[in-house]
Chains A and B, each alone.
Chain A
Amino acid sequence: MNDIAFILIVFFLVCASVEPEDGRSQTIPSSEKNEEQSNAQSIEVGITPSTVTINGTPYQKEQFQEKISQLLIQKETESERIVVVKSQADVSYKDWIAMTEIVEKSGGIVTLLLEEEQTIIVE
């Protein structure tokens, strides 16, 4: 009985340890670097649940892929290839991953633009 229990435990342990780990590595430039590079004119991508914009102009997903590739192919230096991604608060992770994958495959370096929280005290 003990042997059976032991083998069962080993089996469950092996099953539990097979966790998925495949994925995509992403380098997010540090904020100090971003400040230095903010002088360079970078592309701004806006993501909402229904649309995606490049520098304010909305595109369909297929058009977006084409347009971002066109824009990034002209960029030579690393700082020029920085793409500032600004997402609406309700954008899902799966949409965000899909869009940033397109940007990175086109040669862009994704950096995030987060809205800062400010507390204003009204007297």
Chain B
Amino acid sequence: MEQTASPADLELVQRLRARDEAAFMSLVERLQPSLIRVARMYVASQAVAEEVAQETWLGVLQGIDRFEGRSSLRTWIFRICANIAKTRGQREGRSIPFASLAGDDLDAPSMPDTWFQGPGGAYPNHWSTLPSDWASTPAGRLDAAEVRAVIGGAIAALPPMQAEVIRLRDVLGWSSEEVRNALDISETNQRVLLHRARAKVRRAMDDYLAMGNE
């Protein structure tokens, strides 16, 4: 069963119907960057993706009186966006292969084989080098702004779908169901994309912490 609109969603919808400008702009602030990136998965350029996002908001305003709360508000908004973007993409004769959005490494192991003992080891497939204990890193080393820069950089380097899944799930705190709906992907794909994304961000953090311990 689909997650329905929350009480907070319904309140926001009431405010939009009452022409509450601040309510609309706070929603824009929260969703616009992701809407543009999702649109960009279907269309040829950043400029067209921005147009799609703009049209999405017009669609939201024109349709708000018909919103019935059978999905969360953001799921509904991302569906409007995906529909507009798909239409634009088809008109452009453009279809981007799933692999180029999702990354071609979905089946690759999270950790290089060298981290594990080979068949000749005392304990094959067990750690050959233990992961480092992050908790033992001197507290002063963890500069919050630097950590955010490392993580932001690692996310920016991910294939588009991996980046969007980790942003929506771990930066914005969406549920897996909302992410599946927004990106139009299966439960399995959502989990695999999140798995790859978190593994790479973990790796970037581990490299960053190791650098400081040398």
Partners in one complex: no
Residues on B facing A (Cβ under 8 Å): none
Residues on A facing B (Cβ under 8 Å): none
